[in-house]
Each structure stands twice: as C-alpha cells, then as structure tokens.
Structure 1
Amino acid sequence: MYFVYVLQSLKDGRLYKGMAEDVEERLIQHNRGENRSTKGFLPWKLVYSKGFTSRLEAREYEKYLKSGVGREFLRRIV
C-alpha cells in the first residue's frame, strides 16, 4: 500500500506533501533531518494521510495536493 502524507512544520507552520509506503518511518526520517528539503524546518508532525493500492494513484493524488486546488483543500482541513 502507498500513502500520500502531509506534514506540518512546528517551526513555522509550512506544509510538506510526500508519498511513502511507511508513513510513520518516513516521519521519523524527516524529523532526523534526513531530507534536505525539510531539514531546516524541524520538527514535523503528521496532519493528513490517505492510502492507495497503487503507486500511480498515490502519485496522482500527491500532484493534486501540490496544485492550487489541492492546497486550498489542505487549508480547509488543516
């Protein structure tokens, strides 16, 4: 199973969208500073995730969340 997840920085509130098979492990990696794009905004908390049976479906949903309409959806739920 593949998951699309959204993290929120506790430092400045920014959101990060990503995809992983193990969301909990991926959150731990982000909070260890193992991702260059999130390292400067530690710590992170998980605010949203959604599961998909295929990698392709998950990737398409991740792209949606990164679009203007997707960002507006996240603003309403976070």
Structure 2
Amino acid sequence: MKKLQYCVYVLYSLKDGKFYSGFTSDLKTRLTYHFRGSAKSTADRRPLHLIFCEYFLSKKDTLRRERYFKTSPGKKALKLILRESLVEYKNISPG
C-alpha cells in the first residue's frame, strides 16, 4: 500500500485573521520554518496556527487542492469547513 506522502496545510494568522495555504512532503519541518519566521511568506504574519491538514498520495492532486484553497471559492469553503475552529481562534488574542 502506498504511503500518503504529500500534505496540503492551512495556517491561520492571529495577527491578520487570514489563511495561508501550502503543500509539503514534510509537515513537521515546514511548520518549523513558518513558526520560527524562516518562511518569507508568513514571517510577518505570526503568530500562526495549523488549522487544517489534508494528505494525498499524488503530488499533482496535492497541488490542485492547494491552488483551490487560494481561490475565492476555496477560501469560502475553508471558512465553512472550519467555522467552529475559526470562532475559537478569533477569541485568542495574539501574543
């Protein structure tokens, strides 16, 4: 059986209340970069929380899902899927 190798992840910024979506084959290492401020794309948006993660067998499927989450309909879908979690995070003050 083939291993689920690729992951689409979504981070939520407590600073600006926005999502950041990305993909990786090593979630632990990638999150370390984001949380330490080593990733340029999110360095000025910390603190960040991992709010969603979805694994795939295929890199192509993973990239397709990541691109979808970066569209308006994809962001809307995330807000619906994560509506309870977002309520919780909006009650957390940054820092």
Question: By the TM > 0.5 criterion, same fold?
Answer: yes
User: Secondary structure of 1:51's match?
Assistant: strand
In structure 2, give the amino acid aligned to 1:64: Y
User: Secondary structure of 2:60's match?
Assistant: helix
Corresponding residue for residue 36 of structure 1:
40
Instruction: Determine whether 1:10 maps to 2:17.
Output: no
Give the number of the structure whose alpha-carbon radius of gyration is greater.
Answer: 2
Number of aligned positions between the proteins? 78
Alignment RMSD (CA, Å): 1.0
Runs of 4+ off more than 4 Å: none
Corresponding residue for residue 50 of structure 1:
54
Contact 1:9–1:44 (Cα < 8 Å) also in 2: yes
- Higher strand proportion: 1
Cα distance in 2 for residues equivalent to 1:61 and 1:37: 19
TM-score when scaled to structure 2? 0.76
Corresponding residue for residue 65 of structure 2:
61
**Structure 2 regions of 5+ residues with no counterpart?**
83-95
Contact 1:33–1:39 (Cα < 8 Å) also in 2: yes
